[in-house]
Every structure is written in structure tokens, then in C-alpha cells.
């Protein structure tokens, strides 16, 4: 589990092409041989939220006992913990988890999820065109059911179908506020160039089972665009380990972009998948430069973080004059996929250790959480050599709209330090007024968050350490009320680059203006008029945000 060492070279020197090997799966997981790839497409206009039905409008749905199981795929986990992995997953012939069709008139859908990032455990047919679905919990756990991604075949265009996922884990969800699932039609992709799009009417999110650990239900109706189509449903735009591999291969093959970027392995995951580390800087090496550290996909079900990270890298490695300036000023250390095992198997939150890696910083053993441990150790080494001006961890959020940040205000620092924590998010809200909500940002350091990347890096000495939260849904700002597209997500990376230049601008005007504005906003939050002499500086962050 030690880092995969390669001879160090500065960006600009020739490098051997870096490529991620094929994904490795736990040996309990069956994997179909087909390669699943999707075209990229941006809708011609923003996709609006659907009218929310609300939690209280529960829907009566038949259960498994009244229906027929037509798909059941559950890895035969040996014991309660991960043991070993191999390329292609379980050896031997594949089982047949889908019930066979009885003939050409059989309209039963054929389900499949045994592919990279796929998640569907069971499908029960409870009516001619109605299905109750069960998601697979994160491997080696009994919980964290949120991410879904599965294939359906044998579709019919005319009927109205209803799908109900019956074991969602969270009590509150953006599906209750207008969020819709994503659909991908292979026929539309091949004939019209149309990719992932939002679908679903009568979308409801409501309490299902009671008990100590109640489960919640997500239900929607929809019509398929074609007869006999192959379609996919997903909770968010999928971005797999293989997608990252294709991106890094294209990067290594591009002589212009690879001049500024070194790719090496930070470490190997529990399953033996590579955790890549990108170092980006301009000519002249790293001496005298400050560092910026970014990471994404510690939570595998938050795929929007990968699209935002791709937008960041695309801009940073472009010929744009602002990108050239950033490369001249900083050394960027980027870990685009911290938890590749979780991404490969279709987990929502955990690694193959069966625990949340974003609660393991500062206390994790390299053998249990190698990505987290080696990132933390790398930042420690950087801090010995140079100032780390920013750490930002890209996440997705399932319960709040828009984009926002969590920062670190310990409450014991002086007024100036506490204000400076708020400047970069405030600047980002000005650069992205139709996406980023400063009022949704939080800065208190809760005890339960001590093991997160954000708090751990701040404790190490990174003065500006943030979690960037990207809603699973979209934006309610600037009159939008619409879902985020891939283009929206990628633009966040570019906007973060713009904001970093504003934040580090040697001319102090923008910074000073934001300090004053942050002070005014905090005074207003304390219900004091600006200029009244009242001070918020002795108030705890939790009281400020209550």
C-alpha cells in the first residue's frame, strides 16, 4: 500500500504516458463484460425542477409480497469485511439475476446493474408497468442507500411506468423539492446525439417503513422514448473510475497540456486500484511557490464533484492567460478520485473498509484508508516546504439546493482571521451569482466533523480549508429554479480558478471590500445595524449560524 514511486520530474520534462489499469473489484462482485459508456450532451435550455409533491403526500405502493421478483443481484459477501479483489470481479460464469422473458409479448423490463458504479439490488414487478426497486447498501455495511445507477431493456413507448425505490436512507431529500432522476436512452444517443436528461412526473419522496431505522421511498412516473430501447437511470451524471482513466490518457497524449502536469500514483486502494495525484505548475519548477490542494470523490455517490474537478483541470491546463498566471503563481496538487473502490462498486458513501473515509482523517491507518492517509501525509510534507494557501474538497449535497462551502471558524481567533475565512466563499458567490449561495455557507467546526478532510487540513495548518458542496439538484438563484447540467458543474471549476486569483490578488481592493461586506453581513445576522458599535467577534460560530 506504499505510494507507487516514479522518478520525480518537474512539469515540462518528458514523462512516460500514465494510464490507470483496469478496475479491480472485490471477488464477491459479478461484473458483466460489456463496456458502458455514455455520450456527453448539454440540454439546449436549463431543465426546470418539477413541481414538488411534498413529504406528506405519501403514495400507496404494493410491496414484494404482492409482486414478482424480476431481478435480484446481491454479492455473496464472505464474512463482513473485504478480503481480496481482481480485475473483472468474481471468477467463473455469470449468474442470471433477471427473470427470463416468456415470449415477444412479455412486457417485463430487464434490469441490470453489474457494471462500473452500478447500484440496484432487486426489482419487484407489482403491476403491468409498475416496479418496486431496492438499492444495494454500501458493500460490507447495511446502510447508505442513496446512489442508484442501473440499466433497463425491453421498454415500451406508450405505457406510463411507475418506479418506486423503497429503501432510501435519508429522511429529507431534494427529490421532495423538485429534483428529478436522470434517464439515458441509447436510441436517442445514437440517432439524435441526446444524452442524460431529467425525467419523471409525480415525483414523490416520503416515509416508507417505520421502526428504529425507518426507510424512505422515492417514486416517479415516466414514459420511455422508444419501444425496445436500452435505457439507464441514475441519481447523478455518472463519472466512473474508467472515465477518469480515459481523461488522464487524453491528458498524457496532449503535448501542450502534459507540459504543465505530472501524473503519478499517490497510493493504491484496498482493492489495488490506483489513486492518482496530479501536480500542475508552470515553467521554472516549484521553488518559492505556494501550494493549492484539491480532492474529490471521497464519497463515491457524489459524482458532481468529479465533473466540477474536470472543469477545474480543463481550465487550469488551458492556454487562457488566467490559467498561465495560476500556473506561474502556484503548485497545484490534485487528487481527483480519493475513493476509487467505492466508485467502482457503486457505493454511496463508504470505501471497502465499510466506513466513511471522510471521518477518518488524522486517525486513519494507511492499511485501512490509504487514499485519505496518503493525502494527509502529502499535505504535511508540503507544509514543511511551502505555504498551502488553500485546501478544497469537492462534494455533493442531497438536501440543499445551489453550491455552497463549509469552512473553519474555530471561534477563538481574532476578528480579522474569522472574517478572512469568509472572504473566498463570498468572492465565489460574486463570480457565480446564479449558482453559489453565500448565505448557505457554514463555518463552525463541529466535534462530529473532526475527522473530515476540511477540519483535518485546517488543524494541520492550512489556514483556508473548505468543503465545496454541489447540490444533486441545481440552482434556485438568479431566477433559475433548474437542474445543473454537466456544463454547469464543469463551470464551477473555472469559477473557482477565477476566485483564487481574486483571493490572492496583490492589489488589496477586492479582498478589503469583501472583508467589509462579510463584517456587515455578520452584524446583520446578529440583528445589529452596521456602524452601531456592536461586535459579533465574541460570539461563537454555532451561535452565529443558529
Nearest Cα to Cα of residue 68 among 151, 120, 119, 130: 130
Question: Whole-angstrom Cα distance, residue 429 to residue 441?
Answer: 10
Please name the residue that has the C-alpha cell 488551458: 318
> Using an 8 Å Cβ cutoff, are 25 and 89 in contact?
yes
> Which residues are tagged catalytic?
469
Q: Who's near 463: CB < 8 A, 6+ residues apart?
A: 389, 417, 420
CA triplet 342, 140, 37: central angle to 5 degrees? 30
Count CA atoms closer than 13 A to 331's CA, side-chain side.
21
Q: Say how far residue 6 (Cα) sits from the centre of its chain.
A: 29
Question: Whole-angstrom Cα distance, residue 38 to residue 130?
Answer: 26
Instruction: Give the burial class of 96: count Cβ atoms within 10 A of its Cβ; 0-12 exposed, 13-18 middle, 19 or more buried.
Output: exposed
Q: Who's near 14: CB < 8 A, 6+ residues apart?
A: none
Buried b (16+ CB within 10 A) or exposed e, 249-288: eebbeeeebbbbbbbbbbbbbbbbbbbbbbbbbbeeebee
Question: Whole-angstrom Cα distance, residue 361 to residue 376?
Answer: 7
Question: Whole-angstrom Cα distance, residue 63 to residue 66?
Answer: 6
> Using an 8 Å Cβ cutoff, are 56 and 382 in contact?
no
DSSP notation for 164-218: EEEEE--S--GGGGT---EEEEHHHHHHH----EE--EEEEEEE---SSS--EEE
Using left for φ > 0, alpha for ψ between -120 and 50, and beta otherwise, residue 356 falls in beta
Backbone torsions φ then ψ of 213, nearest 5 degrees: -120, 80
Nearest Cα to Cα of residue 493 among 392, 375, 398, 407: 392
CA triplet 367, 371, 372: central angle to 5 degrees? 90
Nearest Cα to Cα of residue 89 among 350, 272, 306: 272
> Using an 8 Å Cβ cutoff, are 222 and 204 in contact?
no
Nearest Cα to Cα of residue 463 among 436, 497, 423, 498: 423
CA distances from 84 to 273, 470, 524 (A): 12, 33, 56
Q: Who's near 165: CB < 8 A, 6+ residues apart?
A: 133, 134, 135, 148, 217, 218, 219
Residue count (the chain): 546
Amino acid at each position: 500500500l506504499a505510494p507507487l514511486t516514479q522518478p520525480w520530474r518537474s512539469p515540462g520534462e518528458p514523462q512516460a504516458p500514465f494510464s490507470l489499469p483496469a478496475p479491480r473489484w472485490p471477488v464477491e462482485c459479478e461484473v458483466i463484460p460489456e463496456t458502458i459508456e455514455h455520450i456527453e450532451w448539454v440540454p439546449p435550455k436549463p431543465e426546470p425542477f418539477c413541481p414538488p409533491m411534498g413529504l406528506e403526500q405519501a403514495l400507496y405502493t404494493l410491496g414484494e409480497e404482492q409482486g414478482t421478483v424480476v431481478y435480484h443481484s446481491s454479492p455473496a459477501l464472505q464474512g463482513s469485511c473485504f478480503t481480496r479483489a481482481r480485475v473483472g470481479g468474481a471468477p467463473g460464469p455469470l449468474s442470471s439475476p433477471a427473470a427470463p422473458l416468456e415470449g415477444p409479448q412479455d412486457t417485463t423490463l430487464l434490469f441490470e446493474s453489474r457494471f462500473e458504479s452500478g447500484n440496484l439490488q432487486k426489482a419487484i414487478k407489482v403491476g403491468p408497468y409498475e416496479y418496486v426497486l431496492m438499492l444495494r447498501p454500501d458493500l460490507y455495511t447495511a446502510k447508505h442507500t442513496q446512489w442508484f445507477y442501473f440499466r433497463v431493456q425491453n421498454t415500451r413507448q406508450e405505457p406510463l411506468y411507475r418506479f418506486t425505490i423503497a429503501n432510501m436512507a435519508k429522511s429529507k431529500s431534494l427529490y421532495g423539492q423538485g429534483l428529478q432522476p436522470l434517464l439515458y436512452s441509447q436510441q436517442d444517443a445514437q440517432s439524435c446525439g441526446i444524452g442524460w436528461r431529467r425525467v419523471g412526473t409525480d415525483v414523490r419522496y416520503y416515509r416508507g417503513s417505520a421502526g428504529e431505522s425507518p426507510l424512505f421511498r422515492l417514486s416517479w412516473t415516466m414514459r420511455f422514448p422508444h419501444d425496445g430501447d436500452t435505457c439507464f437511470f441514475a441519481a447523478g451524471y455518472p463519472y466512473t473510475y474508467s472515465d477518469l482513466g480515459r481523461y488522464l490518457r487524453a491528458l498524457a497524449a496532449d503535448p501542450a497540456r502534459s507540459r504543465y502536469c505530472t501524473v503519478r500514483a499517490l497510493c493504491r486502494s484496498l482493492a489495488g486500484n490506483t489513486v492518482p495525484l496530479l501536480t500542475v505548475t508552470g515553467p521554472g519548477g516549484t521553488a518559492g511557490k505556494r501550494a493549492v490542494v484539491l480532492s474529490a470523490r471521497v464519497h463515491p455517490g457524489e459524482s458532481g464533484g468529479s465533473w466540477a474537478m474536470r472543469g477545474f483541470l480543463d481550465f487550469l491546463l488551458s492556454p487562457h492567460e488566467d490559467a498561465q498566471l495560476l500556473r506561474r503563481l502556484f503548485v497545484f496538487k490534485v487528487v481527483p478520485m480519493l475513493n476509487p473502490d467505492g466508485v467502482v462498486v457503486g457505493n454511496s458513501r463508504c470505501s471497502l473498509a465499510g466506513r466513511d473515509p471522510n471521518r477518518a482523517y488524522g486517525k486513519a491507518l494507511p492499511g485501512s484508508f490509504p487514499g485519505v492517509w496518503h493525502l494527509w501525509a502529502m499535505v504535511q510534507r508540503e507544509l514543511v516546504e511551502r505555504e498551502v494557501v488553500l485546501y478544497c474538497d469537492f462534494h455533493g449535497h442531497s438536501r440543499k439546493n445551489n453550491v455552497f462551502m463549509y469552512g473553519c471558524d474555530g471561534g477563538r481567533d481574532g476578528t480579522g482571521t474569522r472574517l478572512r475565512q469568509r472572504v473566498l466563499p463570498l468572492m465565489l458567490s460574486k463570480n457565480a451569482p446564479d449558482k453559489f449561495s453565500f448565505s448557505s455557507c457554514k463555518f463552525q467546526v463541529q466535534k462530529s466533523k473532526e475527522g473530515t478532510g476540511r477540519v483535518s487540513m485546517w488543524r494541520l495548518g492550512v489556514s483556508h480549508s473548505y468543503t465545496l458542496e454541489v447540490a444533486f439538484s441545481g440552482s434556485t438563484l438568479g431566477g433559475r429554479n433548474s437542474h445543473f447540467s454537466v456544463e454547469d458543474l464543469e463551470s464551477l471549476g473555472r469559477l473557482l480558478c477565477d476566485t483564487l486569483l481574486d483571493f490572492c490578488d496583490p492589489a488589496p481592493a477586492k479582498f478589503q471590500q469583501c472583508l467589509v461586506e462579510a463584517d456587515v453581513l455578520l452584524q446583520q445576522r446578529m440583528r445589529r445595524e452596521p456602524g452601531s458599535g456592536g461586535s459579533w467577534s465574541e460570539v461563537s460560530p454555532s451561535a452565529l449560524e443558529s
